[in-house]
Chain A
Amino acid sequence: AQLVESGGGLVKPGGSLRLSCEASGFKFSDYHMTWVRQAPGKGLEWVSYITGTGRTIHYADSVRGRFTISRDNANNFLYLQMTSLRVEDTAVYFCVREMGSGGGRDSWGQGTLVSVSS
Chain B
Amino acid sequence: AIQMTQSPSSLSASVGDRVTITCRAGQGIRNDLAWYQQKPGKAPKLLIYDASSLQSGVPSRFSGSGSGTDFTLTISSLQPEDFATYYCLQDHSFPYSFGQGTKVDI
Q: Contact residues of A with B, CB < 8 Å?
A: 34, 43-46, 49, 58-61, 94, 99-104, 106, 108-111
Query: Which A residue's beta carbon lies closest to that of B54?
Result: A102
Main secondary structure of the interface of B (DSSP, over half): loop
Contact A59 B34 (CB under 8 A): no
Chain B residues positioned under 8 Å from A106 (CB to CB): 34, 46, 49, 55
Q: What mask results when residues 32 to 44 of chain B are scored 1 for a CB within 8 Å of chain A, else 0?
A: 1010101000011
Contact B56 A43 (CB under 8 A): no
Distance in angstroms from B3 CB to nearest chain A CB is 13
Q: Count A-B contacts at CB 8 Å.
A: 59
Main secondary structure of the interface of A (DSSP, over half): loop
Contacts A106-B49, A106-B55: A99 and B91 contacting too (C-beta < 8 A)? yes
Contact A49 B96 (CB under 8 A): yes
Contact B55 A102 (CB under 8 A): yes
Contact A61 B1 (CB under 8 A): yes
Contact A102 B53 (CB under 8 A): yes
Distance in angstroms from A62 CB to nearest chain B CB is 9
Chain A residues positioned under 8 Å from B95 (CB to CB): 46, 58-61
Interface size of B in residues (CB-CB distance below 8 Å): 25
Contact A104 B56 (CB under 8 A): yes
Distance in angstroms from B1 CB to nearest chain A CB is 7
Chain B residues positioned under 8 Å from A102 (CB to CB): 46, 49-50, 53, 55-56
Q: What mask results when residues 11 to 55 of chain B are scored 1 for a CB within 8 Å of chain A, else 0?
A: 000000000000000000000101010100001111001100101
Most buried by B among A61, A99, A110: A99
Contacts A43-B101, A108-B44, A111-B43: A49 and B49 contacting too (C-beta < 8 A)? no
Query: Which A residue's beta carbon lies closest to that of B38?
Result: A44
Chain A residues positioned under 8 Å from B101 (CB to CB): 43-44
Distance in angstroms from B22 CB to nearest chain A CB is 16
Chain B residues positioned under 8 Å from A45 (CB to CB): 98
